[in-house]
Structure 1
């Protein structure tokens, strides 16, 4: 039995964000983590060499620089340095070509040649209202937008690029591939309204607050969150698997940073049958199959400029990505899946040692796929970086099926905690005005299975914590999240 005011199950970014808010509200908070280390998708570990660390799950963090929660939390003031690459992301194409998304919008447009003006028309207005665009997409999606102009700009672009009309806006392969590679971060059928929203969000941020990597790895973000929680009295219990909500019966509020499947496992038959049936119908998306490489030298890209980007999308042309991602969403394995590669040392050279460099890569595969992804991923990289295989010193493969064994939140390898469809972007995990409250008194869901969905933004945890403060504790004042002693703010962050 818990003796705290609040018990949080799971210490991924949303569980930690919820812990920050609730501890700063003056509540006694305990966090329970089944693994021996906290962080969930923010874990960093030395896999092959004690001097070289790999990010186990997420590595690049546009939302850590842009989300309302992290803007208020202020990672920089807490010693977390977000390193910005000159090129946010790159997209190699056959023939030694590559489309490049520079941090500079002007430089990107110049690189895209005839499609430069179209790219500027697409991204420029979003950049001018970037904070409002981010706040709209990362909201609980239950209120009218605070900036109607930003909402209209976004809606127009999502409607066009969420249909077959989007690719026709560009003349060449480079620009359409550059945008579609970002849309593929939605990990599902292409094109779709949900993937277009992801493309607009991440695409414009590449030229704004950027696609940064934390110096030293993603674990630095988890560490900063945990330090704030403990500074305000929070307590962590690692290596502790909570199997039933009954174990936490003493807490006035329980927040679950778990998948809907995890909610069902913890709640058992306590949930009303109608709600449980809706949760059981929650759809999971395609899986991620990951390979961590230790390589002896930088990736030998055919276009050397690709090596200046920390994030590289390997998916071919717009048409190829549409075909591959749609097949994968239909549980059909493809021979050339979409692959995302991250080379942290391109912007954080301290992550590498002489002859030892970390490289992170994952492929989109059907949910639950048990196949070792090493050969597929290596072949995809070598198509645009001949000789890459000869630089591999060691590697570790994790299939989509094995990802769920590593972290039960990744059902079938779905690292987004649910298929990113338009409906499930809003009705996560079921249609409710307050999606964080469950029918069980004092029990809340705070994972990426609630709005606004996946990514390391902390907003699902933040919004769930506000719901818990109101409904379980009668607290409506929002704690100040800035570094230093907790204080009460009058409004939401951002």
Structure 2
């Protein structure tokens, strides 16, 4: 293991792989060191209920994987990746049996909203149309924008809370709840500044790119990335937990796909005390409680729109949604949590034995909570799909502690690599000109704890790799 490399990447999640691929593309010699026995971080597929039922243990629906400005330049289809696009990206049911669907077509989506039809189009059409001018600035560190006017227009919509935005744009409660469904992916209270930004970006992704997932499991995305990386000469070493930088082969740069808490535990970094103190103050966000089910048939949603959607958001009233997300951050439990569901096998028959199905869901919980939310989640699904519980053949649950064991980056169950509020949205892990570099000129952080944060987009790794090239390989910058 004494071989010399240009750069070494620690961690093989989507960001670590993105960093390694970009550096390898530039002709550098790289290697990935992964502590687990299989690559992918949170993006893995396993049989955890019954034989033949393939479940995505972490990430399940990957809209940012197909929308990523970096990933979409890669020839991943040549390495076995096949995207599946559900008929409807996501849907949101209500207690009266109705549901709203986010179709890829904006006009079709808006037509369901009655009084709010024109407001919906006014809100989303400019963002979808101008997305190519926005994406690099929104998916990177703070910098002078390439298109400042368009970014300012987006910012005026994105900086308010989700609650402020829906009250400004929409009259109907169902329209407001519909937007809350995507905004709540932020894991922030819906009255928090900038929580609207998550709803805007994710809904824009649905309209512009869809919310697809890889055929055969999210792990197929990692397999394709790794296959492409290896085809260029990249190397990966599994079961290699790094506890000391000095254990690694010599390299000009070391890129850590880990969170601040983990990076501070690595020996040999020689970080000064002030940097350690600032990194130690990094805030982690809410956790999740997750369930995978093996089912005898598809989830029997009352509304047809839900049966045709890859993702379903559950939260049946505006008050219920607001109280659910607020309770997570205020030490209160709720029996009616906001629930996210993915139903892959409806569209992908490789996920389960013939005639059988899988389902994936989670709700937000306090960071570090070990409470079992199985009943609350299943009760919420039963409201929209009477008879659901009778379809369950087997289940696998994971609380925040079990998720962190599965992937040490999920600190306290936080799947976003840190709280994504206004103080840590662009200035993560700390406020500095380059969020990817550290006081040690050879050590970088490339995880979702850097801009643009959580999601399977690889942009944190890509941006960190660009910084490495700028700092250490000036002759490659123009390639």
* Structure 1 and Structure 2 fold alike (TM over 0.5): yes
Question: In 2 relative to 1, CA 53–100 (structure 1 residues): closer, same or farther, beyond 3 Å?
Answer: same
C-alpha contact 1:288 1:364 (8 A) present in aligned 2 = yes
Aligned residue number for residue 337 of structure 1: 337
Q: Aligned partners of 1:477, 1:462: CA distance in 2, in Å?
A: 14
Deviation for aligned residue 1:311: 0.3
Structure 1 position 472 matched with structure 2 position 472: yes
Aligned residue in 2 for 1:223: 223
Matching of residues 45-444 of structure 1 within 5 Å: 45-141=46-142, 143-162=143-162, 164-248=164-248, 250-267=250-267, 270-444=270-444
Is the contact between residue 93 and residue 314 of structure 2 (CA under 8 Å) also seen in structure 1? yes
State how far apart, in whole Å, the 2-side matches of 1:449 and 1:341 are.
25
- Asked whether the equivalents of residues 46 and 54 of structure 1 are also in contact (C-alpha less than 8 Å), the reply is yes
2:33 alignment counterpart: 32
2:35–2:240 contact (8 Å) kept in structure 1: yes
SS of the residue 2:380 aligns to: helix
Q: Distance in 2 between matches of 1:331 and 1:269?
A: 36
Alignment partners' CA distance in 1, 2:160 and 2:241: 46
Look up the SS of the partner of 1:358 in the other structure. Answer: strand
- Name the SS of the counterpart of 2:92 in structure 1: strand
Whether the aligned pair in 2 keeps the contact of 1:51 and 1:353 (CA below 8 Å) is yes
Instruction: Give 1:317 shift.
Output: 2.2
TM-score (norm. length: structure 1):
0.93
CA–CA separation in structure 2 for the residues paired with 1:455 and 1:464: 16
Q: Please give the root-mean-square deviation of Cα atoms over the aligned residues, in Å.
A: 1.7
Shift of 1:229: 1.6
The 4+ residue runs of structure 1 with deviation greater than 6 A are none
- Structure 1 residues 326-376: Cα deviation after superposition (integer angstroms, max 9, x where no partner): 221234332222110000123223323234211110110000001123222
Matched residues in 2 for 1:424 and 1:476: separation? Answer: 31
- 8 Å CA contact 2:446, 2:461 repeated in 1: yes
Gaps of 5+ in 1: 479-487, 489-494
Q: Deviations over 1:259-301 (max 9, x none)?
A: 1111011146721100000111000000011101000101011
TM-score by length of 2: 0.96
Change (3 A) 1:249 1:349: closer
| Matches of 2:378 and 2:163, distance apart in 1 | 32
Distance change >3 Å, CA 396–CA 164, structure 1 → 2? same
Which structure 2 segments of 5+ residues have no match?
A: none
3-state DSSP class of the match of 1:47?
Answer: coil
Deviations 1:16-70 (Å, cap 9, x if unpaired)? 0011011122222111111110011221112234433111111111111212111
The 8 Å contact of residues 79 and 227 in structure 2, kept in 1 or not, is answered as: no
